[in-house]
Amino acid sequence: MKFFVDTADVDAIAELNDLGMVDGVTTNPSLILKSGRDIIEVTKEICSIVSGPVSAEVVALKAEDMIAEGRKLAEIAPNIAVKVPLTWDGLKTCKVLSSEGKMVNVTLCFSANQALLAAKAGATFISPFIGRLDDINLDGLELIGDIRTIYDNYGFDTQILAASVRTANHVTQCALIGADVMTAPPAVIKGMASHVLTDKGLDQFMKDWAKTGQKIL
């Protein structure tokens, strides 16, 4: 499973990228706001750090305007994936931009039918939002499983990009289900390294080592 990092924080991206943890990046208008940076500037900087797909989201609502914005965003770097919302106009935009050979990430997906439409419109990635479904007492992971089954049934090559990933357990479950990609905030990716038994075991080793009176260096 590929790891995308869901942030526009350049320092956090660079740190994870140095560890080989970053196969791509996803941003959205809320993350651009959080970064306090200009969208074109920060996206260009991210693309200079990461060689994999970097999603940059359009903000227009009509297809014609979305297409123009998508073309402008795609000029930033060859690894831009234009992110469009899963609306009818977003699907029209997806069809046009994917026909031009651009990567398209269709976002804000909350149903299997929406994912089916995105695949037919030529999406490179479909982004189902797990956490936001869980927030309203639906099962985000069940949606990932349903889309996996449907895409496999018909051989769609649109990649399932599990988004709104909030916990390390979400990551495990996405990997078990067979999501192609998951995108998570840096804190969730770092949190995957934590285990209470690792901390306990290390603590004991340190205590015993101190008793030996030895040094390695």
Chain residues in the site for ligand G3P (CB under 6 A): 6, 26, 28, 129, 131-132, 163-164, 166, 183
- Options 2, 83, 102, 211, the catalytic residue: 83
For ligand G3P, the closer of residues 35 and 68 by Cβ is: 35
| Active site annotation includes 2 | no
∠ Cα 131 183 104 (to 5°): 110
Which pair of tokens denotes residue 17?
């990228």
CA distance 132 to 162: 12
**Would you call 159 helix, strand, or coil by DSSP?**
strand
For ligand G3P, the closer of residues 94 and 188 by Cβ is: 188
Query: At closest approach, how far in Å is the CB of 95 from ligand G3P?
Result: 23
**Can you give the three-state secondary structure of 11-71, one letter per residue?**
HHHHHHHHCCCCCEEECCHHHHHHHCCCHHHHHHHHHHHCCCCEEEECCCCCHHHHHHHHH
Query: At closest approach, how far in Å is the CB of 187 from ligand G3P?
Result: 11
Query: At closest approach, how far in Å is the CB of 162 from ligand G3P?
Result: 9
Q: How far is CA 24 from CA 81, 191, 202, 215, in A?
A: 10, 19, 33, 41
Query: At closest approach, how far in Å is the CB of 2 from ligand G3P?
Result: 14
For ligand G3P, the closer of residues 28 and 159 by Cβ is: 28
For ligand G3P, the closer of residues 99 and 169 by Cβ is: 169
* Residues marked as catalytic: 83
